[in-house]
């Protein structure tokens, strides 16, 4: 594996084969950057792979820290798949030594403390690594996923699976659902795929619980990336051509006229929006140069609204409601921590 990707995505040894080692104290089995690394990218994330599944509540910014000398580096900690990831809140200083530490207050899923506090040191260079996409994990199995409701004003066209959890199937409205004989899912003439809800038969409920958790992790991950550009256009990017990177706004974002995202198949855009996202009627977000919708992430703390016949590219990670007005469309996914509402809309889960 190329060294640059090793820094960026924190891969290394394969994940532990056992979900937990019982009463055996867990250990850190690999890290990125590796101990003693020099020339690490200044936008590096810092990861640790554990020997056992951990109690996620004990893997946080109190037990996983990054320092430069006596100075603590602020950041966000995400735990999933036996791996803890520390995302610094800002680009790290270049040509500087950093020490990552995971204390023995971090515990396994069975409540056993880490065998010993684990620390490792690395030194940055001056380069930036290419941004990596936000991992969706199992939430990426759905084109629409919401916690409280998914509704449509017929007739919409949805390509991909749709799910709601912890809400029941009664909160999938407007789809004229037809339950499968297994009662694990339903179908609809408006959905090229399947519809799932928390009250369907096993194993659907547990799978949806995991997917919702993964959706929340993806939101936190996207929100935790260090920004390359802040307050672009003072919250109005209408008419712009935007290159890859992480963009952050402390307010809402308005897109009154069409925008182009110019890159290639490896380019990544992450838009961090502290309030709402409004795409005006008839406005389009377009991709050029071979850029892919799967690498565009809209992390929105407020509500998301696409006006009539508006078009969006990418994955919407919404803290609240997502609304597509009449005839609006998206190539990507709608992942909402409340509700999704579509109106004669097209929602397409692209294979790429």
Mean pLDDT of 300-304: 98
**Same domain? 89 vs 145:** no
Q: What is the pLDDT of residues 22-74, one digit of tens each?
A: 689 999 999 999 999 999 999 999 999 999 999 999 999 999 999 999 999 99
Q: Could you give the number of structural domains in the chain? A: 2
57 in a structural domain = yes
pLDDT attached to residue 23: 84
Rounded to the nearest integer, the mean pLDDT of the chain is: 94
Mean pLDDT of 197-202: 98
d(CA 263, CA 255): 19
Residue 291 has pLDDT above 90, yes or no: yes
**Same domain? 212 vs 340:** yes
Backbone angles phi, psi at 217, to 5 degrees: -65, -40
Range of the domain at 198: 137-348
**Same domain? 116 vs 153:** no
129 in a structural domain = no
132 in a structural domain = no
**Same domain? 150 vs 107:** no
- Predicted model pTM: 0.92
264 in a structural domain = yes
Strand 71-72 relative to strand 75-80, pairing? unpaired
326 in a structural domain = yes
| Of the candidates 44, 31, 28, 132, the residue with the CA atom closest to the CA atom of residue 96 | 44
Which CATH number is 66's domain given? 2.60.40.1220
**Same domain? 289 vs 247:** yes
With pLDDT > 90 as the criterion, what percentage of the chain qualifies? Answer: 92
**DSSP string covering 18-40, please?**
SS--TTSPP-EEEEESPTT--SB
Of the residues 80, 100, 123, which one is the last residue of a structural domain? Answer: 123
pLDDT attached to residue 199: 98
- CA 15 to centroid of chain Cα atoms: 20
Mean pLDDT of 325-334: 98
**Same domain? 180 vs 329:** yes
**Same domain? 117 vs 148:** no
Of the residues 123, 153, 187, which one is the last residue of a structural domain? Answer: 123
Strand 259-262: give its sheet, edge to edge: 241-242, 259-262, 285-288
Of the residues 94, 123, 152, which one is the last residue of a structural domain? Answer: 123
Q: Is 333 left (phi over 0), alpha (psi -120 to 50) or beta?
A: beta
Which pLDDT band, with edges at 50, 70 and 90, does 15 fall under? very low
131 in a structural domain = no
d(CA 59, CA 193): 37
Residue 13 has pLDDT above 60, yes or no: no
**Same domain? 104 vs 222:** no
**Same domain? 156 vs 32:** no
Mean pLDDT of 78-95: 97
Largest CA distance in the chain: 62
Which pLDDT band, with edges at 50, 70 and 90, does 349 fall under? confident
Mean pLDDT of 309-313: 98
**Same domain? 94 vs 177:** no
**Same domain? 15 vs 102:** yes
**Same domain? 119 vs 141:** no
225 in a structural domain = yes
3-class state of residue 89 by DSSP: coil
Task: Among 12-21, 116-125, 245-254, 283-292, name the one with the lowest average pLDDT.
Answer: 12-21
291 in a structural domain = yes
Higher pLDDT, 13 or 112: 112
Q: From residue 77, how far is each of 40, 195, 207, 217, 299 by CA, in Å?
A: 19, 33, 24, 10, 17
294 neighbors 139 (Cβ within 8 angstroms): no
Which pLDDT band, with edges at 50, 70 and 90, does 4 fall under? very low
- How far the first Cα of the chain sits from its last, in Å, is 22
Which pLDDT band, with edges at 50, 70 and 90, does 20 fall under? very low
């Amino acid at each position: 594996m190329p060294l640059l990707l090793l820094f960026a995505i924190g891969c290394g040894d394969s994940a532990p084969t056992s979900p937990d080692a019982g009463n055996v104290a867990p250990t850190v089995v690999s890290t990125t950057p590796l101990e003693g690394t020099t020339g690490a990218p200044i936008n590096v994330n810092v990861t640790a792979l554990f020997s056992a599944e951990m109690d996620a509540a004990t893997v946080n910014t109190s037990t996983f820290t990054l320092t430069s000398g006596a100075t603590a580096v602020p950041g966000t900690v995400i735990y999933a798949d036996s791996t803890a990831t520390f995302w610094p809140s800002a680009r790290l200083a270049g040509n500087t030594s950093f020490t990552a530490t995971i204390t023995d207050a971090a515990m396994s899923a069975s409540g056993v403390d880490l065998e010993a506090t684990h620390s490792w040191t690395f030194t940055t260079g001056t380069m930036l690594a290419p941004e990596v996409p936000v991992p969706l994990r199992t939430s990426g199995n759905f084109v629409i996923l919401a916690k409280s409701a998914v509704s449509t004003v017929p007739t919409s066209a949805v390509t991909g699976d749709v799910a709601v959890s912890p809400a029941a199937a009664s909160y999938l409205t407007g789809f004229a659902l037809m339950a499968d004989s297994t009662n694990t899912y339903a179908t609809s003439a408006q959905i090229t795929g399947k519809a799932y809800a928390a009250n369907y038969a096993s194993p659907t409920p547990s799978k949806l619980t995991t997917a919702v958790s993964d959706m929340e992790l993806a939101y936190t991950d996207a929100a935790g990336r260090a920004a390359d550009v802040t307050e672009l256009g003072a919250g109005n990017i209408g008419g712009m051509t935007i290159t890859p990177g992480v963009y952050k706004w402390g307010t809402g974002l308005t897109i009154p006229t069409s925008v182009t995202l110019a890159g290639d198949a490896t380019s990544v855009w992450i838009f961090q929006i502290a309030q709402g996202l409004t795409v005006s009627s008839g406005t389009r977000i377009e991709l050029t140069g071979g850029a892919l919708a799967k690498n565009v992430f809209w992390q929105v703390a407020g509500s998301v609204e696409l006006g009539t016949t508006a078009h969006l590219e990418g994955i919407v990670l919404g803290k609240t409601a997502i609304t597509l007005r009449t005839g609006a469309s998206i190539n990507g996914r709608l992942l909402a921590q409340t509700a999704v509402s579509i109106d004669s809309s097209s929602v397409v889960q692209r294979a790429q």
